Amino acid sequence: MKIGKLTNEQLSRLVLSRLPALSSSTVIGADIGADCAWIDLGDQMMVISSDPVTAGGMESGTLTVHVSCNDIAACGVRPSGILIDIIAPPSSSEEDLKKIVDDASAEAKKIGVDIVGGHTEVSESVNTFIVISTAFGLVGKDHAVPLGRALEGDSLIVTKTCGIEGSYIAATEHTDKLKALPEYVIDKVKTYSSLISVVPEGTVIGELFKSSGEKNERGYGLCSANLLHDVTEGGILGAAYEMAHISGLGITVDERKIPITDETRMICDTLGINPYRLISSGSMLIASSEPDRILGALHENGIKACVIGFFTSAQKGYNRIDVISGNMVELTPPEADELYGM
């Protein structure tokens, strides 16, 4: 099989279709584009998600805290705890392991998340660090639960810029391939680690969830955002496709409106990769019928965001407007992230 995430078809056929039926305590379970499970604990709900970092190298400690905590934040919930599993290759040193743990600890402290457990071992089965994190957050039963799918006519909002995590990994782990770039570009992108968390935007959006007592069709409180999605492997375009797929809708994404920094553009041009398909933890996609309300709250809190598309009827399919030609072309499913082509 190809390196990277399974295709949606493979995930459905090889994994999801083989899982047992959910118990009554699981409100939301595994599905394409559904990164978090919602578990009914009685007077509280637990939101939980797990993610691996497989291509982070010595930056895996920094990244692992954010990849799973971002999923929790993409439910409008603040993460409270995290477990971390570290699988180290035999070639690694104790100093390497210390760096992974110290980096993870520093990031967890920054966003106010407790590291409550996990597992650590050295294995001949890996030739680079594999770090897996499982994050969770707790909310009251009166907390609004996103509908879990976009609605036709919803705007598609993106926060920050595209390619944040991929640019950071390239600048820290693939400097040998970026020697042609000015040193200031690499130095700038190495600071992108401060942008990888979407906990701030998740917290802002969570505070916007309506408390009017109205219920959505699933019986939970209405939200200002119908669907939120942390942008990981497959980049902005891959995440947008997944949101449309899980919603049973079409989508139009205008690449010309997707924000990108000069540094990310320069790195992607040098490496010959597509920034819109590059892993981008640090960006959040939001489907909302109240885009002005979402954008206003984000901007008031110093978080950049803009509308880059909209959801359509399923009959109109998945489309994107090409950044160069301006023509409407098909938006294809996510495949192996551009990071794996470096």
pLDDT in tens, 153-190: 999 999 999 999 999 989 988 888 888 899 999 999 99
> What is the C-alpha to C-alpha distance for residues 157 and 179, in angstroms, rounded to an integer?
35
Co-location of 135 and 230 in the same domain: no
What are the beta bridge partners of residue 250? 312
What is the maximum alpha-carbon separation in the chain? 58
Mean per-residue pLDDT, 304-331: 95
Range of the domain at 64: 8-140
Q: Is the pLDDT of residue 210 over 70?
A: no
For residue range 221-279, list pLDDT tens digits in order.
566 788 899 898 889 999 999 999 989 999 999 999 999 999 999 999 999 999 999 99
Q: Is the pLDDT of residue 19 over 50?
A: yes
Residue 338, pLDDT score: 61
Strands 305-312, 114-122: pairing is unpaired
pTM score of the predicted model = 0.83
Q: How far is CA 115 from CA 56, 103, 104, in A?
A: 19, 12, 9
For residue range 117-146, list pLDDT tens digits in order.
999 999 999 999 999 999 999 988 777 677
Task: Match 């950044």 to its residue by tokens.
Answer: 323
Q: How far is CA 179 from CA 67, 261, 269, in A?
A: 28, 19, 13
Last residue of a domain, one of 140, 165, 193: 140
Residue 1, domain member (yes or no):
no
Q: Give how many domains the chain has, as a whole number.
A: 2
> Considering only CA atoms, which of 140, 142, 279, 281 is closest in space to residue 202?
281
275 dihedral zone (left: phi>0; alpha: psi -120 to 50; beta): alpha
Residue 9, pLDDT score: 82
Mean per-residue pLDDT, 291-302: 94
Last residue of a domain, one of 140, 164, 190: 140
Co-location of 97 and 211 in the same domain: no
> What is the C-alpha to C-alpha distance for residues 278 and 62, in angstroms, rounded to an integer?
18
Under the banding of pLDDT at 50, 70 and 90, the label for residue 212 is very low
Q: Is the pLDDT of residue 35 over 50?
A: yes
Select the more confidently predicted residue: 333 or 213.
Answer: 333
Residue 219, pLDDT score: 60
Under the banding of pLDDT at 50, 70 and 90, the label for residue 216 is low
> What is the C-alpha to C-alpha distance for residues 286 and 85, in angstroms, rounded to an integer?
30
For residue range 43-81, list pLDDT tens digits in order.
888 999 998 988 788 889 988 999 899 989 888 889 999
Mean per-residue pLDDT, 13-27: 86
* CATH number of the domain enclosing 202: 3.90.650.10
The Cβ of residue 50 has, within 10 Å, a number of other Cβ atoms equal to 18
Residue 150, domain member (yes or no):
no
| Percent of the chain's residues with pLDDT above 70 | 92
Residue 145, domain member (yes or no):
no
Residue 89, domain member (yes or no):
yes
Burial (CB count <10 Å: 0-12, 13-18, 19+), residue 89: middle
